[in-house]
C-alpha cells in the first residue's frame, strides 16, 4: 500500500504550512460531484473500500521523507510529516448506492493538514470506481435481465483499472468477468471462450471447434464470426452433433449486424434441436446499443462488454471535488 | 510484478488447448491500432518498458495455479502452465516515436501458447501509455514552447494511471508534474502551489499569502482566484513587496476568462515592477483551448493540465488489436 508521496505537491506545501504554524484544528472536507456527465441522471457511489485502505496505511516511510527532502522540504517539515497518521472521521455513502450531483459522497473530518494531504488519493479512487460503477449500472438497466460479462481488461487504463472495472461491474449486476486475476481476487465468476486467432491456427474452422470442444467439454461457446458467421454456426452445430456435446453450449457473435445474425443463428440452432444453446453478443457495444437490441427482441442471451465500459468512453471522468466546508467550527465553503 | 492470472480467461483456454496438443510452433502476433481516434493524425508510441517488464516476469505461482484449478483447469493444463516463461522475440517501435494506424507498434514472435497468453497485458499497457503520450504531444504542440505541468493525478483511472500520465507527459515534453510519487520514481521536476482551501483556512487572503510565502520562500506562486482574481493579484503584489520576496514568483489563474485575466494580471504585475513574475493558467484546459490562448497572445507563461490529459477525455482509448499474422510459417492475418 502507498505511502504519503501519493499526493500532489501542493497538498504537501499546504500541510507543511499548517503543521509549522500549529494549525491543528479540525476541518471538514466534502467530496462530491459538481455536475453530472452529459445524459446522466445519477451516479452509483463506489470506491469507499480502497479509500479506507489508503487512509489506514497513510504515512511516510524514511525513504519517502528523504525524497521530500531532495524536493526542498526542510527538516522541520520532514519531522512534522514523519509522525502523521490518519486520525479523524469518515462519513460516506455505502458503495452501490445512487448519488446525485452536489450530494456528498464522502466527508472527512480531521486535523486540517491530514485532511488536506489525503485529498488527491480520495478523489482519484472515488472518481475511478464511481465512474465505472455508474456506467455499469446503465448497462444493467439496458440489458433488462439478460446476462452481462465484463470484457474490458485490454482497454482499461492499466491493471489497477482493470481490477476496478471487474469489481465495479459486479457491484452493478454483471454476472461474470473475463479477467482471471480479478475473478480470483474478488471471488467472481469468470467467463471466456476463444479468439479468432485460435480458429486461424487450425487448418479449418471445424477442426478448431472440435479441438476446443474436446479440450473444454461441458461448457463450450463457439466464436462463429471468423470467416462467415452463419456458416460458423453451422460448423458449431456439426461439432456439437459429431461429439455429442452436452452441458452449456452457445455461440458468440462478435461483429456484423448482431440483430439479424442473432435471429439467423437462433433459427439454425432451433432447427438443429439446440433450443437450449445460448447466443452471446459482443463487439464494442455501448449501453444504448444493448438496449436497442433488447428492445428489438434480438434473441441474445448475454452480452460481453468491454471498451465502452472499461474506459466509460462517453464520460471518462466525473467532475468530483473535495471542498473545505468547515474549519475550526467556521463554515468556509467557497 | 504480476503473474499469469493477469489475462482474460479465453487466453488461458486457448493456451491450454495449444499446449495439450503439442502445438508449440512459432507464431507472430502484431499489435497495432486499427483506426485513429477522431481528429487525430498520429499517435506517439509508449508503454514498451512496462510491457518488457511484464514479459520478463511472466509465470504462474503455485497460488495462481491453485486458483486456475478451482476455475476448472485440469491437472494437465496446470502442469503445462507451471513451466511457462516468456521465450521469444519482441520487435517494437521505441517509446516516443510517431506511429500511424495499421502500423505495427509491437510484434511478438514466440511459441503460440505464450504469445497468446500475453495479449491482454500487452494491449492494456500499450493502449494506456500510447493514449496518454499521444494526448500529451498534442498539448506540447499547442503550447508553442510555453511550459506545461501535469496535474492529472486526482482524475486518472487509479494510481497506476497517475504514474503513467506523469511519465508519458514527460516523454512528450511536459516540464513538471504535481505527482510527488511519480516525480520521485522517474526523476521528474515537481510543481505545485496552494489550493483554495488554504486561502479559506486563514481569516484573509493576504494572511494566507503571507503565511505561504514565509514557509515556502524562493519559489512562490500565488493562487489568486479564490475571491476576486485581480484583487488576488493585488494582494499577491502587496505580499511580495511587504516580504521583499525574491526568487521565482508567479500567480496562478484557475478559473474565469483566462485571456482577459492574464492580460489584467500582467499589467498589474508589470506596473508593480514585477515583470519577471510568471502567469500560470489552469482549470480543465484541453489542448485546443491552450492553443487558442497562445494564438491570441494571452501572456500565459505556463499551463497546468489535468483532467483532459489524464483521462485523455476526447479519446479515452485507442482501437488497438493484437493479430495473429503468422503461425508455423503460414500467413494467417484475418
Domains and CATH numbers, chain A: 9-131+316-331 (3.20.140.10), 144-310 (3.20.20.70)
DSSP symbols for B59-70: ---HHHHHHHHH
Among A81, A166, A180, which would you mutate to test the B interface (most chain B Cβ atoms within 10 Å of its Cβ)? A180
Q: Does A225 touch chain B (CB under 8 A)?
A: no
Q: Is B157's CB within 8 Å of A155's CB?
A: no
Q: Is the pLDDT of residue B16 over 90?
A: yes
Determine the average pLDDT of the residues in A259-270.
98
| Closest C-alpha to A307, from A153, A140, A137 | A153
Contact yes or no for B130/B80 (Cβ under 8 A): no
Nearest 5°: phi and psi at A53? -60, -40
Question: How distant is the Cα of B179 from the closest Cα of chain A, in angstroms?
Answer: 5
Chain A residues whose beta carbon lies within 8 Å of the beta carbon of residue B10: 178, 192-195
User: Is this complex's ipTM strictly greater than 0.85?
Assistant: yes
- B334 and A158 within 8 Å at the Cβ level: the answer is no
Q: Is the CB of residue B18 less than 8 Å away from at least one CB of chain A? A: yes
Determine whether the interchain pair B124/A226 forms a contact, defined as Cβ–Cβ distance below 8 Å.
no
Q: Which residue of A has its CA nearest to B125?
A: A158
Residues 6+ apart with CB under 8 A from B41: none
Contact A124 B162 (CB under 8 A): yes
Cell of A185: 481476487
For residue A165, what are the CA distances in angstroms to A158, A160, A183? 11, 9, 11
Q: How many Cα atoms are found within 13 Å in the side-chain-facing hemisphere of B246?
A: 0
The pLDDT score that the predictor gives to residue B2 is 52
Q: Is the pLDDT of residue B1 over 90?
A: no
How much of chain A exceeds pLDDT 90, in percent?
94
**CB contacts, 8 Å: B27 with chain A:** 197, 201
C-alpha cell of residue B209: 499569502
Nearest CA in chain A to B196: A334
Q: What is the mean pLDDT of chain A?
A: 95
Position A186 pLDDT exceeds 60: yes
Q: Which residues of B touch A175 (CB under 8 A)?
A: none
Radius of gyration of chain B (CA): 25
Q: Where are the alpha helices (DSSP H) in A39-158?
A: 48-57, 62-70, 75-82, 112-117, 119-142
CB contact at 8 A, A299 and A323: no
pLDDT score of A63 more than 70: yes
Q: Render A254-315 in DSSP notation, one character per residue.
A: -SS-HHHHHHHHHHHHHHTT-TT-EEEE-SS--HHHHHHHHHTT----EEEE-HHHHTTTT-
Query: Chain A within 8 Å of B8 (Cβ-Cβ)?
Result: yes
Contact B160 A158 (CB under 8 A): yes
- Averaged pLDDT for residues A74-88: 96
B43 pLDDT band, cuts 50/70/90, is very high
Count of other CB atoms within 10 angstroms of residue B234: 17
Q: Residue A251, Cβ neighbours under 10 Å: how many?
A: 30
Residue with cell string 473475463:
A178
Whether B10 and A195 lie within 8 Å, measured CB to CB: yes
Interface with chain B: mutation pick from A21, A159, A220, A227, highest number of B CBs within 10 Å? A159
Q: Would you call A223 helix, strand, or coil by DSSP?
A: strand
Residues of B in contact with A239 (CB under 8 A): none
Looking up cell 503455485 gives B62
Nearest to B13 among A13, A68, A194 (CB): A194
Contact B193 A10 (CB under 8 A): yes
Q: Does residue A2 have a pLDDT over 80?
A: no
**Mutation test of the interface with chain B: which of A14, A149, A167, A334, choosing the one with the most B Cβ atoms within 10 A?**
A14
Q: Within an 8 Å CB–CB cutoff, is residue B44 touching chain A?
A: no
Enumerate the residues of chain B whose CB falls inside 8 A of the CB of residue A13: 192-194, 212, 215-216
pLDDT of B275-323, one tens digit each? Answer: 999 999 999 999 999 999 999 999 999 999 999 999 999 999 999 999 9
User: How many angstroms from the chain centroid is the CA of residue B95?
Assistant: 13
Backbone φ, ψ for residue A240 (5° rounding):
-60, -45
pLDDT in the model for residue B219: 85
Q: d(Cα B190, Cα B171) in Å, to the nearest integer?
A: 15
Does the pLDDT value for residue B228 go beyond 60?
yes
Residues of B in contact with A123 (CB under 8 A): 154-155
CA angle A177, A306, B108 (to 5 degrees): 95
Q: Are A130 and A318 in contact (CB under 8 A)?
A: yes
User: What pLDDT is recorded for position B133?
Assistant: 97
Residue A205: partners with Cβ closer than 8 Å, 6 or more residues away: A199, A226, A227, A231, A232, A235
B5 min Cα distance to partner chain A (Å): 5
Return the residue of A nearest to B20 by Cα: A215
Q: Could B119 and A153 be called an inter-chain contact, meaning their C-beta atoms sit closer than 8 Å? A: no
Show the cell assigned to A87: 486520525
The angle subtended at Cα A304 by Cα A306 and Cα A320, nearest 5°, is 40
Residues 110-169 on B with a CB inside 8 Å of A are: 112, 116, 119-121, 123-125, 127-128, 131, 151, 153-162, 164
| Contact in structure between B57 and B1 (CB atoms under 8 Å) | yes
**A286-299 pLDDT, tens digit each:** 999 999 999 999 99
Cα dist from B314 to A26, B47, B99, B285, B319, whole Å: 39, 20, 19, 12, 14
Check whether A70 has a pLDDT greater than 50: yes
Interface contact flag, A198 B153, Cβ < 8 Å: no
Chain A (240-299) residues lying within 8 Å, Cβ to Cβ, of chain B: none
Sign of CA dihedral B231, B233, B235, B241: negative
Give the pLDDT score at B101.
94
When CB atoms are compared, the residue of B9, B12, B116 closest to A197 is B116
Whether the per-residue pLDDT at B64 is higher than 50: the answer is: yes
Instruction: Please give, rounded to a whole number of angstroms, the shortest distance from the CA of B256 to a CA of chain A.
Output: 15
Determine how β-strand A219-223 pairs with β-strand A278-281.
Answer: unpaired
Residue B61 contacts A where some CB pair is shorter than 8 Å: no
B159/A2 touch (CB, cutoff 8 Å), yes or no? yes
Report how far apart the first and last C-alpha atoms of chain B are (Å, whole number): 33
Q: What percent of chain B has pLDDT over 90?
A: 93
Strand-pairing partners, residue A104, are none
* Per-residue pLDDT tens over the stretch A24-44: 999 999 999 999 998 899 999
Interfacial A residues in 91-110 facing B (CB < 8 Å) = none
Amino acid at each position: 500500500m502507498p505511502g504519503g508521496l501519493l499526493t500532489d505537491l501542493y497538498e504537501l506545501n499546504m500541510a507543511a504550512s499548517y503543521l509549522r504554524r500549529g494549525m491543528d484544528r479540525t476541518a471538514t472536507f466534502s467530496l462530491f460531484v459538481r455536475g453530472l456527465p452529459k445524459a446522466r441522471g445519477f451516479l452509483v457511489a463506489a470506491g469507499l473500500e480502497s479509500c479506507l485502505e489508503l487512509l489506514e496505511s497513510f504515512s511516510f516511510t524514511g525513504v519517502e521523507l528523504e525524497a521530500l527532502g531532495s524536493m526542498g522540504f526542510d527538516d522541520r517539515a520532514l519531522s512534522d510529516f514523519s509522525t502523521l497518521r490518519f486520525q479523524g472521521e469518515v462519513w460516506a455513502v455505502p458503495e452501490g448506492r445512487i448519488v446525485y450531483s452536489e450530494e456528498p459522497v464522502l466527508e472527512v473530518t480531521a486535523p486540517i493538514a491530514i485532511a488536506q494531504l489525503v485529498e488527491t488519493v480520495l478523489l482519484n479512487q472515488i472518481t475511478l470506481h464511481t465512474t465505472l460503477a455508474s456506467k455499469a449500472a446503465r448497462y444493467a438497466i439496458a440489458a433488462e435481465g439478460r446476462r452481462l460479462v465484463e470484457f474490458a481488461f485490454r482497454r482499461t487504463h492499466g491493471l489497477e483499472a482493470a481490477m476496478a472495472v471487474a469489481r465495479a461491474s459486479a457491484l452493478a449486476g454483471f454476472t461474470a468477468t473475463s479477467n482471471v486475476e480479478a475473478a480470483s481476487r474478488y471471488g467472481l465468476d469468470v467467463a471466456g471462450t476463444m479468439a479468432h486467432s485460435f480458429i486461424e491456427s487450425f487448418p479449418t474452422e471445424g477442426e478448431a471447434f472440435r479441438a476446443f470442444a474436446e479440450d473444454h467439454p461441458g461448457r463450450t461457446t463457439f466464436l462463429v464470426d471468423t470467416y462467415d458467421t452463419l456458416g460458423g454456426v453451422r460448423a458449431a452445430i456439426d461439432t456439437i452433433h459429431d461429439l455429442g456435446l452436452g452441458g452449456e453450449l452457445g455461440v458468440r457473435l462478435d461483429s456484423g449486424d448482431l440483430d439479424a445474425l442473432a435471429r439467423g443463428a437462433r433459427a439454425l440452432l432451433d432447427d438443429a434441436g439446440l433450443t437450449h444453446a445460448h447466443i452471446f453478443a459482443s463487439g464494442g457495444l455501448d449501453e444504448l446499443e444493448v438496449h436497442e437490441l433488447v428492445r428489438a427482441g434480438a434473441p441474445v442471451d448475454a452480452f460481453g462488454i468491454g471498451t465502452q465500459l472499461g474506459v466509460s468512453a462517453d464520460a471518462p471522468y466525473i467532475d468530483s471535488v473535495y471542498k473545505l466546508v468547515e474549519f475550526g467550527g467556521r463554515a468556509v465553503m467557497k
